[in-house]
């Protein structure tokens, strides 16, 4: 019995110490418009510490599930143009109790999709494009997201 417990302990330590490869930190950002036609109605981008990707799926974001996209890597210049967005992320957003802030796209004004993954913290939000419906502490970040999306289109 003692040998069995020692073997079990060694196995647990050996395999318990193995971790799945760390997932890369990223921010997904973009806009969506429901009553719209064309490729530019839904633009979602994935920004990591080293690269920028554009989603080709262009699916309307869910209010209950993380966005699942099909990503193509963009060139280094586009990454350099957007990499400062990662450092601009408002950490207060991580404490929000609601996923939906305001009424995104309710009046055909569209909305912003923001997703955050860093060190195991994974959250997403839908923000109303109407700044009056969203706390002012997020306005500068919203402006920056819109600026980056416009520049990437």
Residue 5 lies in a domain: no
Residue 131 lies in a domain: yes
B/e letters for 75-105, b = 16+ CB within 10 Å, e = fewer, are eeebbebbbebbeebbeebeeeeeeebbebb
Whichever domain contains 87, its CATH number is: 3.30.1560
Task: Give the structural domain span for 54.
Answer: 25-152
Residue 11 lies in a domain: no
> Average pLDDT of each block of 10 consecutive residues along the chain (153 residues)?
41 40 86 86 96 95 96 97 95 96 92 97 97 97 97 92
What pLDDT score does 37 carry?
A: 78
Residue 20 lies in a domain: no
What pLDDT score does 22 carry?
A: 56
CB-based contacts of 41, cutoff 8 Å, min separation 6:
32, 33, 58
Number of domain units in the chain = 1
Report the distance separating Cα 33 and Cα 46, nearest Å: 18
Report the distance separating Cα 32 and Cα 123, nearest Å: 18
């Amino acid at each position: 019995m003692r040998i069995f417990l020692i073997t079990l302990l060694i196995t647990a330590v050996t395999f318990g110490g193995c971790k799945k490869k760390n997932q890369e930190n990223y921010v997904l950002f973009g806009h969506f418009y429901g009553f719209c036609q064309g490729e530019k109605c839904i633009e979602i981008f994935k920004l990591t510490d080293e690269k920028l990707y554009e989603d080709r799926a262009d699916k309307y974001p869910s209010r209950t599930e993380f966005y699942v996209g099909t990503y193509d890597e963009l060139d280094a210049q586009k990454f350099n143009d957007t990499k400062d967005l990662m450092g601009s992320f408002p950490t207060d957003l991580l404490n929000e109790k609601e996923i939906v802030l305001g009424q995104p796209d309710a009046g055909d004004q569209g909305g912003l999709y923001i997703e955050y993954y860093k060190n195991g913290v994974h959250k997403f939000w839908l923000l109303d494009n109407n700044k009056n419906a969203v706390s002012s502490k997020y306005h500068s970040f919203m402006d920056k997201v819109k600026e980056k999306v416009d520049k990437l289109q």
